[in-house]
Every structure is written in structure tokens, then in C-alpha cells.
Amino acid sequence: MITLATAQPFPYSFDPTHTALVVIDMQRDFVEPGGFGASLGNDVTQLQAIVPALRRLLEAWRAAGGLVLHTREAHKPDLSDCPPSKRLRGNPSLRIGDAGPMGRLLVAGEPGAEIIPELVPWPGELVVDKPGKGMFYGTDVDELLRGRGITHLLFTGVTTEVCVQTSMREANDRGYECLLVEDGTASYFPEFKAAALAMLTAQGAIVGWSTPSSALIEALA
Ligand code: C5J
């Protein structure tokens, strides 16, 4: 059992054999120029900034033998799992399913849907395509995790206030003990990241805990 004594808002304990590191949507469509995130007018360098810390954490977690779950926000090529409300929302330069520099936006199998090279999944790690913002909607994530005896989840990835926060809230409702890695997650809007961190950990960890990756890596050494 490992205890992170400095976690917020109070110490967080987990057994690595019953814990998964969750890496949400670190795919080219959000992190690189020319993808879905950029099509919405966002500055993708905000997300690129977390890659070195996230890579160090991933290496430490793998060295400790921990389970990794990677998610990708990606739709079927016929877009049958993309509701019109999602595809038609707003006024982006390209819509989901349109062809961009990295292939069709947010479509499974296209280059933009792939995890960035720095964090590429290892054989044996779980990789799940999800049609929604939360990782449980329209996926078999709950069965995959419960089938492996997972009770605790360490969240990383992008974007903090959209897919990471939604997934962490869904996980909390399903009884998982959740922790968010502060420098392992990013938003296109730093103020939204700060607000999400505050909301999730407030009221006695109403959704979960948070920690810097350094504390986690030190505890795993
Ligand atoms: C968004 C995500 N922001 N992965 N997706 O549309 O957070």
C-alpha cells in the first residue's frame, strides 16, 4: 500500500496492484496543430507542455508494473456514434469527420486519432476509443477495469475540464477512488484547469484527490 501524504485535500492511499493509470485522449487531434482542438481555435501548445511530466510518470508507472488505460475520443468512420448535436455544434473551421491535415477529425483509425508518439501505448496496455467526453459512455471500460480488480484510478490527460473531469466524475459515481495528477493534465484554458482542480477536490474530496506527479514518482521508487 502506498500513501501520498501530501495529496489534496488529505492523504490518498492505493495498492498499485488494484490501481490503473488513466491517460485521457493524449491523441494528435488534441495536442498537435491541424487537429480537432486547433479547428476550434485553441492554442495546442498549452497541452504540449505536460508531455515531459506525463512521460516521466508513465515510465515510473510501467517500471512499477502498473496497469495503464489510454483513451481516445474517436468515432466510427460512418459517424453512427456521433450525434448531430455534437457534430453540428459551434462554428469550427472543420467538423468531426471532415478531412484535415491528419486525416478525418476524431475518426478511429485516422492519424489524428493516434496517441502522440511520446506516449505511445505499449503492448498489453488497454486502449479504448470513446464516442463521448466521459470514458464510460458507450465503452466497456467499467468491465475492463473491474475484471482486473481495479478499485483506484490515477487520472492524467486532456482536457482537464472536459474529458478528464467528466471521466473522473463518472468513475467516482461508480465507486472508484480517483486522484488527478496536477501536472499530468492540461486545458487550453489554464483558468479552467485551476477551477476544475479546485472543484474536484473541494468539500472533502467530493470527486477525488490531486497530487503533483513528483510525489507519485517518488512514492513508486
Ligand atoms: C474535448 C477532450 N475537449 N478530450 N475533448 O473536446 O477533452
Distance in angstroms (rounded) separating the CA atoms of residues 125 and 159: 21
**pLDDT at residue 90 tops 90:** no
Instruction: Tell whether ligand 1 has an atom less than 6 A from the beta carbon of residue 162.
Output: yes
Buried b / exposed e across 76-109, counting CB within 10 Å, b at 16+?
Answer: eeebeebeeebbeeeeeebbbbeebebbbbbbbe
Cβ–ligand 1 contact at 182 (below 6 Å)? no
The pLDDT of 60-68, averaged and rounded, is: 98
The CA 118 to ligand 1 mean position distance, Å, reads: 19
115-129 mean pLDDT:
98
Model pTM above 0.95: yes
- pLDDT band of residue 93 (cuts 50, 70, 90) is confident
The terminus-to-terminus CA distance of the chain in angstroms comes to 13
What is the Cβ-side half-sphere exposure of residue 114, based on CA atoms within 13 angstroms?
9
Residues in Cβ contact with 89 at an 8 Å cutoff, skipping those fewer than 6 apart: none
pLDDT of residue 15: 98
Indicate whether residue 47 lines ligand 1 (CB < 6 A).
Answer: no
Res 129: pLDDT: 98
Predicted ipTM? 0.96
Residue 92, pLDDT > 90, answer: no
Residue 56 has pLDDT above 90, yes or no: yes
Q: Is the CB of 159 under 6 A from ligand 1?
A: yes
**Cα(56) to centroid of ligand 1, in Å?**
23
Rounded to the nearest integer, the mean pLDDT of the chain is: 97
pLDDT in tens, 177-202: 999 999 999 999 999 999 999 999 99
Q: Which of 30, 44, 75, 89 to mutate to test the pocket of ligand 1 (most atoms within 8 A of CB)?
A: 30
Those residues with Cβ within 8 angstroms of residue 145's Cβ, 6 or more apart along the chain or in another chain:
20, 69, 153, 176
pLDDT of residue 35: 94
Q: How far is the CA of 133 from the centre of ligand 1 (A)?
A: 6
Eight-state DSSP code of residue 85: H
